[in-house]
Structure 1
Amino acid sequence: METALENLSKEDLLKVISSRDEKIDSLTSLNSSLVQERDYLKSQVEMFKRMQFGQKRERFEGDPNQTLLPFEADAIAVAQQQESIKEKIEYIRKRPNHHGRAKLPEHLPVEEIEIHPEGDLSAMVCIGKEVTEELECEPARFFIKRYIRYKYAAKNGEGVKIAELPERVIDKGIPGAGLLASILVDKYVDHLPLYRQKQRFARENIQLASLTIEGWTKEALFKLEPLYQQLVFDTKSKGYLQVDETPIKVLDSDKKGAAHQGYYWVYHAPLEGTVLFDYSPTRGQLAPLPILGNFKGYLQTDGYVVYEKYARSKDITHLACWAHARREFEKALDNDRSKAEKALLLIQKLYAVERIAREGQLDTAQIKELRLKESLPIINEMGKWIFQEIKSTLPKSQVGKAMAYAYARWDALSAYLYDGSLRIDNNPVENAIRPIALGRKNYLFAGSHEAAQRAAMIYSFCAICKKHEVNTFQWLRYTLENIMSINHKNIKELYPQNFKNISR
């Protein structure tokens, strides 16, 4: 090789050296890329390890020599077990099972049971009594409400009078407003599917067909449509909305045997405490258009790209979510602990300011003043730190991703300082979505796109009831009883937040 190089001209020798240098640079670049890829994959593995929750399910095969089930214990073992149970019952009976007594609710009715000593008490005088109370319940009480309307005829024979039948939720149907409210609350608040409710009716010897219960549910939800339409209209006019979305399986699908992936788009108005669920078959840019198409004001969202189109509107001030930014840095703890912990410590300080404002019950002007004094310097410090560190941080590393997430949304993350009414994060709307996840585990899917939208109505009002600490059953029963007779101009009086002010 050396002899061959000696015979080359100077120009050819320079070409060989240049070619070799290019190959070395290429290999160096490839090696650097592989190192970055390795670090990225390593960080991903570490993150997935942190995300894993609990132990894996154990699987085992039975011993082939084990006695087959069922089997019966011998008589001696049965006798020993019975004696053990007897001793356990005696122990439980005598053992004090609490350190203190919880106060019983004062609003509950009381059923008194008087107990006198056995035997002849004629020669004895009662000198006092001891009172013991316990909280008890019985299954839901079903009863028949029978309307008996008497007819009156004029003595001169010129007419007959009869009282009008009160407005009913389902005309000529048998369910009352209380029963319908119970079915809806059980399904959409307690996540009890209709087929399980049917089983509960059967235990009370009330035989109902599945189609009957489904029809009742559909009809009751249909009655709520005017109130929901008013909620949609009012939500569009709010000046501050938090938005998020969550998936829902729907049986309507172009593919046979498959479920369609639809989405609930959820809009929370923090100042009024209202929540609107709106169903859409898609997660695309057009999905939030019915609500956000003409929206003006503050819009707070996570980092989903669809919201960016609306955030660019000159009439919208976009707010990002510090909780999402914090989660990104939490994922990076196993990638670069020192940088991740520094970011998390600064974010923690921002939330400490919010806690001071909340515990001090400050008004909006005071909150804004407090944030500008305490939070703004923290945000400036963090912004400078990210700007300096992001240049020397691998972009594909988890900490690099966390920095890029915050850096790209820095103005939106800082925008909550504009007004003391604004929230630091999007958590309230996420809290409103959580019940949907529980529902999905129980009834799995909606039967159709129309059914999913009907469910969006009741989910909206259930979420508002929860935010305003209103008994959902009582509100729903009252609303079903009155929504058909109320003046349309006063329909907002039926909102859950106004229910507390209604004199029953």
Structure 2
Amino acid sequence: MEKDQKTDIDGMIMGAHYLHALDKESLASKPLSEMEREDYLDTINSLTSVIEQFKDSYSLLKAAMESSEKRNESSEKRNETLQSQVVRLQEIICTLTDEIRSLREEVSKQSDYTKRHNKMSYGKKSLSSRSKQEEKKKSREEEKMDDDGSDPPSNAGNEPSLDLTKVKSENIDKERGPRGPYTAMEAAKVIHLKTILDVSPEGMRFIGYKTVDEFNRISYIECTRFEVAVYEDEYGIRHDFYRPEDSNDARRPKTNVISGTPCTPEFLADMVVNRWMLHTPNHRENIRMRIDKFTSSENSRSNWLKIGAKLLKPLCEHFKKKLLKMKSILNIDETWCRVRIKYKGDGTKLGKYLKKYVWVLVNKLDGLVYFLYDNDENDSRGCRPIEEFLGDFKGSIQSDGYVVYRHLSRTHPENVHLLCWAHVRAKFKYAEEISKDPDAAWFVEQIGLLYMVEAENIKLHRTVDEIKLRRSRCDVTKILASLHFRAEKMIKNGKHLHYGDLMNKALTYMLNGWGELQNYRMDGHYTIDNMIAERVIRPFTVNRKNSLFYSSEQGVDVAATYLTVIETAKMHGLEVRDYLVRVFREIMNGNKDCSTYAPEAFLA
């Protein structure tokens, strides 16, 4: 079609020139000469050549325009491709930026957790704010570098030099004040040796007596061995017969030992105290027995302790009934221990060591403690064990923010649930010490003001009503309001405020349990924290360090039974060994009324 257009244009131009020439010829008055005619022809030829040149230029320009249009089209396609690639790269950059941000947050979070783990494993576990300037201790690697001479350059020039001249301590070595009451030394058995005054020194007069003491520890296990005559009757049944050589000797076989064991109440009480109050593991107890010149099987001693725990079960049930009485205030906590359990088909001969949980419940007002281990459905830390134990309990429960306790508060709304302010403070303290979050220090300080009010109540020996009134005053309300306001503000503006994961968890933990955290103001009997349960459960945490694990679930149950009795006796201020001896003797004598040998019975 382009060729046809070119032909039409050329024909039109030629026709126009021809008509123009005819017009000029028709208008000429005189015919053209041969010279003029040649000039006209030359002019026409020159114009024709110019036209041809223009045509060529036009063709070149058109070709150039077509090629430029093609180039433009290809460049537009390239631009579109490049633009799509740019958009794709921008999306990739945004994705990578988000991933980098999340990875940095994860690295920061893991760094905080590592610091927290190192602090709890190797550092100072105390969360008190007393020592602001602590001595910086060197790590093992730094000490090693110091020893081999490869230590880095010291920064001592940046720190003030310490005068290492030794002086007396201002507190310990100061002059002693007036002497207080003297603590007299006493022993279980005293042997008196008196002097004779038959011969007195010459030239001296007698003034009086004084004592010169000499103490010695005699440690051994004493065995009273009865030789019992054995008779057999006509039916082949054997009978024991014992008759003392000394008619005044009232001792008889098996009358002074706990049934099923060769142990006296004193001996079994000693083993219980050593094992669960002094936290002596079995291998160290074996050493002590050798020192006491006593030889026995470790399994035999374990069996004796199991028999003693079985005898104490009714007493623990008596504690449980009193613990769960109407309107009681319970402090609850849980901790873990490793227990060896054999499952069918687990591929082992003895079983595997698994992480299981023990619960503790404390009734401070009645001085009762109860340890619970229930793993019947392999859910020792689930809702079922504690929920079945509490049953239809109606009262108040104080705990940490563990999800099981929140479940109990939802399913039993008639009970008052209190959260522990010590756990809240600990979370902010971790954020301050580990994440170095500047806002955390303010929260720690404000919570400290709440504890100052509690210390004031203790110091002034306020009554229950006075404690409730003091907690209701405006200064406490103002502290709580400022804590809540600042925490909510930080959570809402979290994208604009740069604080770590530990701080975020502390804020969320406090706000999620804000209602339960304020419940301690409702009653003067309530406490601000759950530390009494935290302290009572420590024997299990200490046992994790000493004995590491329990060889069976029965061992955990035995430990829970003995610790229930031990901690309850301690709550009443009784000497644990003496109390256990009296309880075992009452049981040996056939006394089944637990109320007569409960701790409060010995205080009456």
TM-score range, shorter chain: 0.7 to 0.9
Query: 2:296, 2:203 → 1: CA distance?
Result: 57
Query: 1:496, 1:187 → 2: CA distance?
Result: 21
**1:413-424 equivalence runs, <5 A:** 413-424=517-528
Root-mean-square deviation over aligned CA pairs: 3.9
Alignment partner of 1:379 is 2:480 = yes
The alpha-carbon deviation at position 476 of structure 1 amounts to 0.4
The alpha-carbon deviation at position 188 of structure 1 amounts to 1.3
**1:35-434 equivalence runs, <5 A:** 35-48=104-117, 50-51=119-120, 52-53=122-123, 103-105=183-185, 110-113=190-193, 123=202, 125=204, 127-128=206-207, 130-133=210-213, 136-139=216-219, 142=222, 144=224, 170-171=258-259, 173-194=261-282, 196-237=284-325, 239-254=328-343, 255=346, 256=348, 258-281=352-375, 282-312=380-410, 313-333=412-432, 334-373=434-473, 374-393=475-494, 397-434=501-538
Query: 1:143, 1:386 → 2: CA distance?
Result: 67
Aligned-partner SS, 1:286 = helix
- 1:472 corresponds in structure 2 to 576
Aligned-partner SS, 1:335 = coil
- 1:495 corresponds in structure 2 to 598
User: How many residues of Structure 1 are paired with residues of Structure 2 in the alignment?
Assistant: 449
Distance change >3 Å, CA 50–CA 208, structure 1 → 2: closer
How high is the sequence identity, in percent, across the aligned residues?
Answer: 25
Check the 8 A contact 1:185/1:472 in 2, yes or no: yes
Check the 8 A contact 1:470/1:497 in 2, yes or no: no
- Amino acid paired to 1:262: K
- Amino acid paired to 1:500: L
Query: 1:460, 1:411 → 2: CA distance?
Result: 32
Query: 2:452, 2:555 → 1: CA distance?
Result: 43
Gap runs ≥5 in structure 2: 1-70, 124-136, 145-175, 229-241, 245-249
Query: 2:260, 2:599 → 1: CA distance?
Result: 28
Distance change >3 Å, CA 5–CA 403, structure 1 → 2: farther
The alpha-carbon deviation at position 176 of structure 1 amounts to 1.5
Distance change >3 Å, CA 266–CA 139, structure 1 → 2: same
- Amino acid paired to 2:394: K
Check the 8 A contact 1:292/1:310 in 2, yes or no: no
Query: 2:253, 2:552 → 1: CA distance?
Result: 35
Deviation string, structure 1 residues 454-496 (Cα, Å, up to 9, x no partner): 22111111111222221111100100111354664x4123222
The 10-residue stretch of structure 1 (309-318 or 456-465) with the greater mean CA deviation from structure 2:
309-318
The alpha-carbon deviation at position 332 of structure 1 amounts to 0.6
- Amino acid paired to 1:307: Y
- 1:67 corresponds in structure 2 to none
Deviation string, structure 1 residues 276-306 (Cα, Å, up to 9, x no partner): 0011232122121222232222111112222
- 2:563 corresponds in structure 1 to 459
Query: 2:323, 2:306 → 1: CA distance?
Result: 24
Distance change >3 Å, CA 221–CA 30, structure 1 → 2: closer
The alpha-carbon deviation at position 105 of structure 1 amounts to 4.6
The alpha-carbon deviation at position 229 of structure 1 amounts to 1.6
- 1:93 corresponds in structure 2 to none
- 1:69 corresponds in structure 2 to none
Aligned-partner SS, 2:330 = strand
Query: 2:108, 2:368 → 1: CA distance?
Result: 45
- 1:68 corresponds in structure 2 to none
Query: 2:321, 2:521 → 1: CA distance?
Result: 28
Aligned-partner SS, 1:421 = coil
The alpha-carbon deviation at position 253 of structure 1 amounts to 3.0
The alpha-carbon deviation at position 173 of structure 1 amounts to 4.5
Deviation string, structure 1 residues 370-400 (Cα, Å, up to 9, x no partner): 0111423211111111111122336862211
Query: 2:313, 2:535 → 1: CA distance?
Result: 24
Aligned-partner SS, 1:474 = helix
- 1:76 corresponds in structure 2 to none
- Amino acid paired to 2:445: L
Query: Which has the higher relative contact order, 1 or 2, with Cα contacts under 8 A spaced 6 or more apart?
Result: 1
Aligned-partner SS, 2:537 = helix
State the structure with more CA Rg.
Answer: 2
Query: 2:101, 2:356 → 1: CA distance?
Result: 43
- Amino acid paired to 1:385: R
The 10-residue stretch of structure 1 (13-22 or 371-380) with the greater mean CA deviation from structure 2:
13-22
- Amino acid paired to 1:355: A
Query: 1:116, 1:444 → 2: CA distance?
Result: 59
Aligned-partner SS, 2:280 = coil
Check the 8 A contact 1:253/1:260 in 2, yes or no: no
Check the 8 A contact 1:250/1:260 in 2, yes or no: yes
TM-score by length of 1: 0.77
Deviation string, structure 1 residues 330-352 (Cα, Å, up to 9, x no partner): 11114243211100000100100
Query: 1:141, 1:450 → 2: CA distance?
Result: 28
Distance change >3 Å, CA 188–CA 25, structure 1 → 2: closer
